[in-house]
Amino acid sequence: MFLEKLKEINPSLIKAGVYLHQNGFIPPNTYLLDADQIEKNAGYIKEEAKKWNLKIYFMFKQIRNPQIYNFVLDKNIPQTVCVDTKGAKVVWESGNLIGHVGHLVQIPDSEIMDILLMKPEVVTVFTIEKARKISYCAKKIGRVQNILLRVNGENDIQLPGMEGGISEKHIEKTVKEINKLNNVKIVGVTNFPAMYYTNNKEPKLSPNFYTSLRCAEKLSKMGIEIEQINAPGNGCTLTMETYSKGGATHVEPGHGITGTTPFALNYKLPEVPSIIYISEVLHIYDDFAYVMGGGFGAIDVLGVSKDFKMQALVGDNKDNIFNNNFDFEGCAIGNKKVLMDYHGILKIKGKKVKVGDTAIFGFRPQTFATRCANTAIIKGCSTGDLKLLGVYDHCCHRLKRWP
């Protein structure tokens, strides 16, 4: 979906990917990150957020890698949001601070103490029970933990597998119970998604966001000082104005960092696509080329037109790859559902391809959700002074074989 954009405005990343793979510097099944451009993208977002008086928690689940934080985060500022505890531990162990934990996946009871010791700025709770557990653990370490309430309303968008939260109808009753706890303090609300995925059209705040506003007003009337109306989803330079004018205080850019929000497909944003997925042709069967899998389970198509057809560029050098497009069949012939993405399958249709060729994809990923995909960081691909900073496996361990 972003392959044409990459060819147009960041072709040097594609060239670097072919070179690094063909020369054995990176393995197949690797997401390659352009650190220079990601740093620029983050800078554009920070500048726009500051202009509209918004605070940022950057989301890294889609490019989970301990080295990339150095190019995005300002030191000694809690500027991250972590979708799960593993993500929080990667951020913390890299020497960065935790901003927000818990808005999509609640912290398991056995890990609450670990997270609280990282001193997150806020933790989101879906239930009274979780608030009680957090208060109990916070008391043990002499801490009062600021919390956000995940709220929901009758007309909210409920993405599959992400449902949950405190019903707007029961918000006052729930808050009265949580206020009895001594070691948690309600400071705001959140909901997801706060912005529509509208097939790349103009930014539009979702019913979920307006539920957050109504609940925040109810909390204010109960005497609670609202410090945050947290608005996750589609954070990029284009959406900051809409969020600010709508009443948000905090945003959570994720794909904006790599220039892969749905809006980047149809708008000319300053953020440039900065990530590719690199694989390798392992064998050819009938009229199909089978490339190494492991990262295809992370393809994120939310907000992307249902009419798009994913393709890959295939070749063994930067000169023969740009015009050698192959249609992606999926991870099984006929796009049948499979348990694992052993392979990605490309339709040959008379085109030139051979075993060992590099295959480059330009979809928007969620690398934390892959079966076993690696990540790699490079600098200097646009200047020709290419430097591979590191290659990491899906658990964020640095691979020793590669620099």
How does DSSP assign 171-225, residue by residue?
HHHHHHHHTT-SSEEEEEEE-S-SB---TT-S--B-HHHHHHHHHHHHHHHTT--
Same domain assignment for residues 122 and 156: yes
pLDDT in tens, 345-388: 999 999 999 999 999 999 888 899 898 999 999 999 989 899 99
Q: Do residues 354 and 281 touch, judged by C-beta distance below 8 A?
A: yes
Same domain assignment for residues 121 and 133: yes
pLDDT in tens, 54-70: 999 999 999 999 999 99
Backbone angles phi, psi at 354, to 5 degrees: -145, 160
Same domain assignment for residues 112 and 217: yes
Same domain assignment for residues 40 and 126: yes
pTM, two decimal places: 0.94
Angle at 230 between CA 224 and CA 233, to 5 degrees: 160
User: Looking at residues 314-339, what average pLDDT do you find?
Assistant: 89
Q: Do residues 235 and 256 touch, judged by C-beta distance below 8 A?
A: yes
The predicted pLDDT at position 158 comes to 87
Q: Is residue 302 over pLDDT 70?
A: no
The predicted pLDDT at position 403 comes to 64
Same domain assignment for residues 222 and 360: no
Same domain assignment for residues 166 and 283: no
Same domain assignment for residues 161 and 305: no
The predicted pLDDT at position 319 comes to 87
Same domain assignment for residues 142 and 235: yes
Work out how many domains the chain is built from and give that number: 2
Tell me the CATH number at 14. Answer: 2.40.37.30
pLDDT in tens, 133-171: 999 999 999 999 999 999 999 999 988 888 999 999 999
Q: b/e map of 348-365 (b: 16 or more CB within 10 Å)?
A: beeeebeeebbbbbbbbb
Print the domain residue range for 375: 3-34+270-392
- Please indicate, yes or no, if residue 402 is contained in any of the structural domains: no
Tell me the CATH number at 143. Answer: 3.20.20.10
Q: Is residue 298 over pLDDT 60?
A: yes
Q: Do residues 333 and 288 touch, judged by C-beta distance below 8 A?
A: yes
User: Looking at residues 71-81, what average pLDDT do you find?
Assistant: 95
Cα distances (angstroms) measured from residue 387 to each of 3, 13, 273: 23, 12, 19
- Please indicate, yes or no, if residue 265 is contained in any of the structural domains: no
pLDDT in tens, 31-52: 999 999 999 999 999 999 999 9
- Please indicate, yes or no, if residue 264 is contained in any of the structural domains: no
**Residue entry with tokens 């008379």:** 350
Same domain assignment for residues 228 and 109: yes
Same domain assignment for residues 190 and 117: yes
